[in-house]
């Protein structure tokens, strides 16, 4: 799948099958994180690979908006260092690269950010100074992905030309292309 098609088709999925994701694919997803460029090349992001069922259950317990993580095959916790003002931009970039790398291998994923941080830090021995930026759950989808159109606003309501507020009609891609 080329990069554009990957971006065009990728969805966030929250229901997973019990099929195991091969270890090599997990490593490639982590490698996608490692390869991601960070601000000033600081490479401050750290990742926890969670595969154990009990630990996935604990992630669900510590979550306020991602209880579905318990059904994932594995999860990756993204930790960043808030002393860098750009740390959340870096988090977004590694997250997107991991999700797209997984999608390329037909592995689906969903992200959540609602976390009971105190409880999480205790459960996973997280150093006090690090920020728990997000958690991604991965797995093969519970149902066949139908390729339904993404729920997105049209291009011309997002884009201005030359200066803020100057709109023009922009060709909108049709449903098939989306």
* Residue 50 bridge partners (DSSP): 75
Binding status of residue 12 toward ligand FMN by CB under 6 A: yes
Site mask for ligand FMN (CB under 6 A), range 63-102, x = bound: --xx------------------------------------
Q: State the binding string over 21-60 for ligand FMN (x if CB under 6 A, else -).
A: ----------------------------------------
CA–CA dist 132, 114 (Å, integer):
10
Q: Which positions from 145 through 164 interact with ligand FMN, judged by CB under 6 A?
A: 150-151
112 binds ligand FMN per the rule CB under 6 A: yes
CA angle 98, 104, 109 (to 5 degrees): 50
**Secondary structure letter of residue 41 according to DSSP:** G
Nearest approach, Cβ of 151 to ligand FMN (angstroms)? 6
> CB neighbours (10 Å) of residue 112?
21
Q: Which residues contact 77 (CB under 8 A, 6 or more apart)?
A: 47, 48, 50, 59, 124, 132, 135
The minimum distance between CB 44 and ligand FMN, in angstroms, equals 19
In the complex with ligand FMN, which residue's Cβ is closer, 27 or 145? 145
């Amino acid at each position: 799948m080329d990069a554009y098609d990957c971006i065009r088709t990728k969805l966030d999925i929250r229901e997973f099958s019990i099929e195991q994701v091969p270890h090599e694919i997990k490593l490639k997803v982590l490698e996608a994180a490692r390869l991601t460029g960070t601000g000033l090349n600081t490479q401050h992001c750290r990742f926890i690979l969670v595969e154990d069922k009990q630990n996935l259950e604990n992630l669900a317990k510590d979550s306020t908006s991602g209880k579905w993580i318990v059904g994932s095959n594995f999860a990756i916790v993204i930790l960043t260092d808030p002393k860098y003002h750009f740390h959340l931009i870096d988090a977004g970039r590694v997250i997107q690269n991991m999700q797209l790398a997984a999608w390329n291998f037909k592995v689906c994923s969903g992200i959540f950010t609602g976390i009971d941080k105190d409880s999480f830090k205790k459960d996973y021995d997280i150093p006090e100074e690090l920020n728990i930026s997000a958690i991604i759950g991965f797995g093969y989808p519970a149902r066949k992905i139908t390729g339904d159109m993404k729920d997105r606003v049209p291009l011309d309501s997002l884009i201005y030309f030359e200066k803020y507020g100057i709109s023009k009609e922009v060709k909108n891609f049709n449903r098939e292309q989306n």
